[in-house]
Amino acid sequence: SVENKTCKMHCYESVVNYLSCGMLLAGLLHLINHRKAQASYGRHMKPTALAILVPARVAWFLQEMPALLMPLLLMHLSRQYSTMGRAILLKTFCLHYFHRTFVYSLLTRGQPFPLSVMATAGFFCLLNGSLQGHYLLHCAQFDEEWSADYRLVVFYIGMAINIHSDYILRNLRKPKEIVYKIPAGGLFEYVSGANYFGELVEWFGYAIVTWSLPGFSIAVFSLCFIGPRAYYHHKFYKEHFKEYPRFRKALIPFIF
């Protein structure tokens, strides 16, 4: 059809493939470089006099915002996402980052971030938002009758787990209290990183429903980034709390 030809004309397939492969490579490099230490924020932050710190709420807001703004900007400029599939998946992707930008960031009680960590995360969100937005708008091909059906449910199950787990973590301590406690309830009864597990279910659900290289790249990058972080959280709990349940796994129930 004329519509499909127009979409193909605007699809920069080589750029999409390069960015997707770059994201996969960046995830693997992060996994290799952080085998023994984690990115310096939160409980793993190393004190240094040279670090410029940004309040956690401001940092989360600023670094997540680009991943929401870029798809919205691309939608505005293209003025088309005619098939139901494009509309559903674009709105699903934006929903995740709307929550991270306007809900999670305003509720978090985390410690201040180093400016360098915030800037790096913001740059990644800028690229990811541009990549996913462009692919879904101009490259993905869906029939008019396409329906995400059960596959999209995986994404929303992961999002629900992530939001509920964040709620549990947020209410472990009082405002301005900087004390780490053992989380309990929900999937925290089985894994140390239930919030991370939920986010991974989200992105692998997104990869399944888009069945695309960009979708696969964000899922693998997330695994490489937050997988080791979940492991070090698990290690932290075991080292600092003698009463920590030994049957719990780090990230995936019954596996890690």
Residue 164 has a pLDDT of 97
Q: Quick: pLDDT tens for 14-68.
A: 999 999 999 999 999 988 887 766 665 556 566 665 678 999 999 999 999 999 9
Q: Which residues pair with 113 in a beta bridge?
A: 54
**Dist CA 91 CA 72 (whole Å):** 9
Instruction: Give the tokens for residue 105.
Output: 């960031």
Residue 9 has a pLDDT of 52
**Residue with structure tokens 């979708």?**
215
DSSP state of 82: -
Residue 240 has a pLDDT of 83
Residue 104 has a pLDDT of 96
With a cut of 70, which residues of the chain have pLDDT below it?
1-9, 36-50, 79-82, 145, 147-149, 176, 178, 253-256
3-state secondary structure of 9: helix
Helix (H) / strand (E) containing 3:
helix 2-9
Residue 2 has a pLDDT of 40
Residue 3 has a pLDDT of 43
